[in-house]
Structure 1
Amino acid sequence: MTDIHEVLDRRAVTTLFQPLVEIASGRVLGYEALSRGPAGSPWETPAALFGAARQFGRESELDWICRARAYESALAAGLDEGLSWFVNMEPAAARTACPPDLAPVVERAERRLRVVTEMTERAIAVDPSGLLSAAAACRAAGWGVALDDVGADPMSLALMPFVHPDVVKLDMAMLRAPGDPHTARVVAAVAAYAEASGAVVLAEGIETEQHLAVARTMGATVGQGWHFGRPAPLAGPDGASASLPLITPPRNGVRTPFGIVAGRRPVARTTKAQLMPMSRHLEALAADGGEPAVLLACFQDARHFTPATARRFARIALSSPLVAAFGTGLSDEPAVGVRGACPGDDDTLCGEWNVIVVGPHRAAALVARDLGDRGPEGERRFDFALTHDRALVVEAARSLLRWLAPVRTPELLVG
């Protein structure tokens, strides 16, 4: 083939599969689909394939091609219907329509396959709204969601509860450095999430019996790696299989943080001057360098996002996976490294002052609703509620992500 356009136009992508195995029993629970370009071509590896497609603005199309080819192979294999098929997806592709020629196989897959869509933590920082929409669409089809490469980026742990994955895939580096302090922090955070949610912990990169033993100590119940099988075309069943459990999906609604928290926590009334110390305290939690945390704050109006506030938020953004400010008149980047969102003047969010912090081991939310006073600024009154209930805080935080647009990237030149 002469160029990447011919590869994509001919849908010249093949799929290899690697087994996912229940560690305790050795039973196969499913397979991960791994896409490859034409053998012997410059685009054979996934990195080269996607890099070339990205250069010409066809990455989302390639994502659809890879998924469709994986579904096609899984359907043709005729294996146990209880098996789970792990297939990677970039949330940006969910914003583009499926190419018409691929739609039939995608529709058959939705009816007949048990798919677990794999996403990476970087996707939520780039396009939070797109990721949540993509995850919701997967769950609406009865499919699951997996968070891939957890631990590869120290900031990924704070983003894990937003994805609310059915499966957490520990990056293979964790098995190679079990005594590293970073590994210990990752394993503790993943164990806490799995215990609270019922999610499955899967260890990637298991190549030896030693790796398998380490994976068990990290709480992994499912393994993947050369110890169980290398990527290969699908063959007939070679042993007992079982179904991988999925967890209860998170609640997704259209309520604001105040509506979510105030519905389940006591509400009090006070002035802006009295709320300020609480707000700054929560900012300080996010600024604590001990664990990267997500910070989301609603300012009602851009005038409340003062230069001093901008400096504080920019400092926090240096060590945070996601810092965002919401308010009428705010730009897409009101401070360096800070995401901005500008709700409409009639948006219910404009009446709220919220500060929400979510870290791997801590969570807190101050939510307040303006009562509309017109007096001195410090005497303006608010109804407010404060919570450290992790599940409630995460639900409130998730409700804000739909206002965040994808990060803008420079336009690519098409040759």
Structure 2
Amino acid sequence: MIGGRAVTPVFQPLVSLASGALVGYEALARGPAGTRWEAPATLFAAAREAGLDGELDWVCRAAAYRVALEAGLRTPLFVNMEPRAWRTPCPPDLAGVVAAAHDRLRVVTEMTERAIADDPSALLAATAHCRAAGWGVALDDVGADPMSLALMPFVHPDVVKLDMSLLRSPSEPYTAQVVAAVQAYAEASGATILAEGVETAVHERIARTMGATIGQGWRYGRPGPLPATAPAAAPLLTPASRPASIAGTPYEIVAPRRPVVETTKGELMPISRHLEALAEDGPVLLACFQDAQHFTPATARRFARIARHSPLVAAIGVGLPERPAPGIRGASLTTGDPLRDEWNVIVVGPHRAAALVARDLGDTGPDRDRRFAFATTHDRDLVIAAARSLLRIIAPAEGADAAGLLTPA
């Protein structure tokens, strides 16, 4: 079935909540009609079991591109990508249609928070590739999992898609928390908010109170064939503003922009513990320990406890394994890596961002007396830039496909 490319795309309209005008389409996949693989969930489950879900993902996207190209689609086309597909090369027989899509379509690639937690380094590479091609990025199902909010800053999506469950529980405290975080992000970045699952006029009104300007759901049409001549779209989608790209290690990113102070390890410990405590309620926590000996059993217990409520907790240092403690992602450094001389604690969530960055000054003697040059920041863009520099070296989660980076053409 996958080898025969027996996948059919269907398309659901996206509309302006203010005017009802068409904004774009989302492409959805269907397996062979009348078979047990017709439903996409069953289709992908079977492909995952066979280790072919990455290839199936390419097949689904290419099928959508082909139909959109044949129809001369001028509206944005939203296309889903499964997390494991980030590291699966494009099959050669699909490369032509993918290249044509890059040249002629306005694609918005949808991803879920699973992509970030499963394989941060590949996700960053794939997101950068989409944007280099002039394509947009959307974060899907925001609100379905409480952890998605903590991961939103790393995707920096152009479109945030509110999960349909939010429209059905508008009075719940959790809904208010999600909506407030999304609205704050959209206001700061210029991103578009899209509400999924709009089925009634009431849903539509609720979606607008949540800040959504675009709606998707049965109120506007069920998934079906793309019109032979697709109409033009209302110009409602604009790219989110990008934070400045800053290269280097966390210390190299933060220290030139914040006051630097020299102190001992013993005096830095309370600051480090304070930042760790900020991650107790769900933000991402990334930390550099220089060497595995500094990731003590007590530290491992604290980090494992935090990991129960966080989508991503990582520990980095010379000699650290990929799984240094339950729920913790690890990354080992070579002795010559610049991070070998840094002690970093970085916390990123929907409502807070903070970083301690410190560089070892090379003292010998008692561990607690070793001196560091350090800086702290709560500037969100700086913290996220520092965090991104660490995400690139974190290994994929167990089960993530490591066949090769995304190569769409």
Supply the AA of the counterpart residue of 1:10: G
Aligned residues: 400
Give the 5 Å matches for 1:83-162.
83-162=75-154
Deviation, 1:9, is 1.0
Deviation, 1:236, is 4.1
Which of 295, 300, 316 lines up with 1:326 in the alignment? 316
Which of 79, 83, 89 lines up with 2:73 in the alignment? 79
Name segments (4+ residues, structure 1) moved above 2 Å: 236-240, 248-254
Q: Which range is displaced more, 240-249 or 371-380?
A: 240-249
TM-score by length of 1: 0.94
Which of 206, 209, 219 lines up with 1:217 in the alignment? 209
Conserved? CA contact 2:119–2:400, under 8 Å: no
Conserved? CA contact 1:252–1:399, under 8 Å: no
Indicate the residue corresponding to 2:47 in structure 1. 53
Conserved? CA contact 2:71–2:230, under 8 Å: no
Give the 5 Å matches for 1:11-26.
11-26=5-20
The answer as to 2:387 corresponding to 1:393 is no
Unaligned runs of 5+ in 1: 1-6
Secondary structure (helix, strand or coil) at the match of 2:186 reads helix
Supply the AA of the counterpart residue of 2:334: G
Supply the AA of the counterpart residue of 2:259: P
Deviation, 1:92, is 2.8
Supply the AA of the counterpart residue of 1:8: I
Conserved? CA contact 1:15–1:36, under 8 Å: yes
CA displacement 1:9-53 (0-9 Å, x = unmatched): 110000000111111122211100000000001110111111111
Unaligned runs of 5+ in 2: 402-409
The answer as to 2:36 corresponding to 1:42 is yes
Deviation, 1:374, is 1.3
Indicate the residue corresponding to 1:3 in structure 2. none
Q: Distance between the aligned counterparts of 1:238 and 1:25, measured in 2? A: 18
Q: Distance between the aligned counterparts of 1:379 and 1:123, measured in 2? A: 41
Deviation, 1:79, is 3.0
Indicate the residue corresponding to 2:406 in structure 1. none
Indicate the residue corresponding to 2:22 in structure 1. 28
Indicate the residue corresponding to 1:273 in structure 2. 266
Q: Which range is displaced more, 320-329 or 20-29?
A: 20-29
Which structure would you say has the larger RCO, counting Cα contacts within 8 Å and 6 or more residues apart?
A: 2
Percent of aligned pairs with the same amino acid: 68
Conserved? CA contact 2:189–2:242, under 8 Å: no
Give the 5 Å matches for 1:359-370.
359-370=349-360
Conserved? CA contact 1:301–1:329, under 8 Å: yes
Q: Distance between the aligned counterparts of 2:11 and 2:362, measured in 1? A: 59
CA displacement 1:124-159 (0-9 Å, x = unmatched): 111111111111110010101000000000111100
Give the 3 Å change call, closer, same or farther, for CA 303–368 of structure 1 in structure 2. same
Conserved? CA contact 2:333–2:340, under 8 Å: yes
CA displacement 1:52-87 (0-9 Å, x = unmatched): 11111111100110010010011011132xx11100
Deviation, 1:240, is 5.5
Secondary structure (helix, strand or coil) at the match of 1:407 reads coil
Supply the AA of the counterpart residue of 1:393: V
Supply the AA of the counterpart residue of 1:293: P
Secondary structure (helix, strand or coil) at the match of 2:160 reads strand
Deviation, 1:268, is 1.4
Secondary structure (helix, strand or coil) at the match of 1:255 reads coil
TM-score by length of 2: 0.95
Deviation, 1:94, is 2.9
Which of 158, 170, 177 lines up with 1:166 in the alignment? 158
Supply the AA of the counterpart residue of 1:76: E
Indicate the residue corresponding to 2:405 in structure 1. none
Conserved? CA contact 1:91–1:134, under 8 Å: no
Q: Distance between the aligned counterparts of 1:94 and 1:307, measured in 2? A: 34
Secondary structure (helix, strand or coil) at the match of 1:101 reads helix
